[in-house]
Structure 1
């Protein structure tokens, strides 16, 4: 039930406010890992996946019977892999996380609070109910060529996940 309220809140905020953006090409994992990377280059640094999963394409908006991508999981990271090219999808944070997300010189991890993002995303942060047990905001892609959105999710006031997704 909480998830439904959370999603409705995100939709309301995105409908009522101009969405701020996050540019894919400027974001990094651990300050150096690009969000689009070849599987070979990724595994040269981080070794093999913990799990590779082929989704049911019928359940994924925008995919069809010709789809051939898989989800590639490594620790707290989730990528989508297609023809040897990996595209970032999600990073999950907890106190034991070994990864962080960086953008415009700022580091996001399990210690990041909503107010820590005020300088980068002032309008998005203003729209968040900081007292809610679970809160979040959406950002646009920062590129006219992409239609992906960014979801920042907070629990008890700290960042727990950043996700890139394509709305239907």
Structure 2
């Protein structure tokens, strides 16, 4: 009788153990589904936007999370560079909208550590952001965004770095990049010298007219191209008090590379030393948000301060 009782107890414990194990396995499976759901319908843009919106990025305190939008500007093997931007209507005609993007922040998402960094103010000393880490756990951003080539590269194959739009620039706080000959003399005075384009033999021109009387105007190191009464800036030097404003921010001979980080953090981080003898540093800026234009803007720095800005186009 005692042997039967012992056998019954052993069977009872065995059944309870199997039941407990099955319950534990069921709980683990449910938890795993909650943590890592399989969702193949979301896009890279949707996940990145969701991740960024859950963070305490600096741009949100200035513009609000409803206005700020996010897009992957560059996808590298270890990190994603994310552009934060707002869309503004710069049209002077209320009946005709003219929408442009303005960058208001830059983030980096490091895929290995899953750190989200705000590099807007100082790329060398980024701010570590808080965000909903479940989003990064649920989605492999590297795989999800790798096929989104339109977000990482333009149709011309250029990496989308920082953009400097002509319409946001004012020369000496007054002139757009294109203006008239009378405007030139009002703001800059008479040119120091004048040369015909045909004598300079440039490989590419701004107005592309090839007119025999097209000229270059030189003033305080700067070079301006003319065609008839039209004038355009080709190269502008920050000499004799000359300056530009970009979105209302002044850039002149006292502007440092550190100052430029606030406007163009990616370009500053990817700067190149072009002239070893003169120690000229160069940052490169695209001229449009879509990356369609072949040319770009080069800004040179000497001894850590802005020296000149040049509109470059391939021959």
TM-score range, shorter chain: 0.7 to 0.9
Q: 2:295 aligns with which of 148, 161, 167?
A: 148
Q: Structure 1 residue 38 and structure 2 residue 146: aligned? A: no
Match of 2:197?
55
Q: Which deviates further from its counterpart, 116-125 or 38-47?
A: 38-47
Deviations 1:47-104 (A, max 9, x none): 322211113468422368944421112224321101110001111124xx22101101
State the Cα deviation string for residues 7-54 of structure 1 (Å, max 9, x = none): xxxxxxxx8843321111110111112211010232244432221111
TM-score (norm 1): 0.76
Residue ranges of structure 2 left out of the alignment (5+ in a row): 1-156
Deviates more, 1:67-76 or 1:111-120: 67-76
Asked if the contact 2:225–2:231 (Cα under 8 Å) also holds between the matched residues in 1, the reply is yes
1:104 aligned to 234, 243, 247, which one? 247
Aligned to 2:170: 28
1:1-16 pair list within 5 angstroms: none
Relative contact order: is structure 1 or structure 2 higher (C-alpha 8 Å, sep ≥ 6)?
1
Secondary structure in 2 aligned to 1:151? Answer: strand
Distance 1:66 1:36 in 2: 18
Q: Separation in 1 of the partners of 2:264 and 2:246?
A: 11
How does the TM-score come out when normalised to structure 2?
0.43
Give the superposed CA RMSD. 2.7
Contact 1:134 1:156 in 2 (8 A): yes
Matched, 1:113 2:259: no
2:50 aligned partner: none
Tell me the residue number matched to 2:233: 88
Q: Distance in 2 between matches of 1:44 and 1:31?
A: 13
Higher mean alpha-carbon deviation, 22-31 vs 136-145, is at: 136-145
Determine helix, strand or coil for the equivalent of 2:259.
Answer: helix
**Structure 1 pair 92–66 and aligned structure 2 pair: CA distance change class (3 A):** closer
2:266 matched residue in structure 1:
123
Relative to its length, the structure with more helix (as a share) is 2
When Rg is computed on C-alpha atoms for both structures, the one with the higher figure is 2
Paired position in structure 1 for 2:308: 161
- In 1, distance between residues paired with 2:209 and 2:248? 41
Over 3 Å counting, the alpha-carbon distance change for 1:40 and 1:129 in structure 2 is closer
SS of the aligned residue for 1:42 comes to helix
Distance 2:180 2:272 in 1: 38
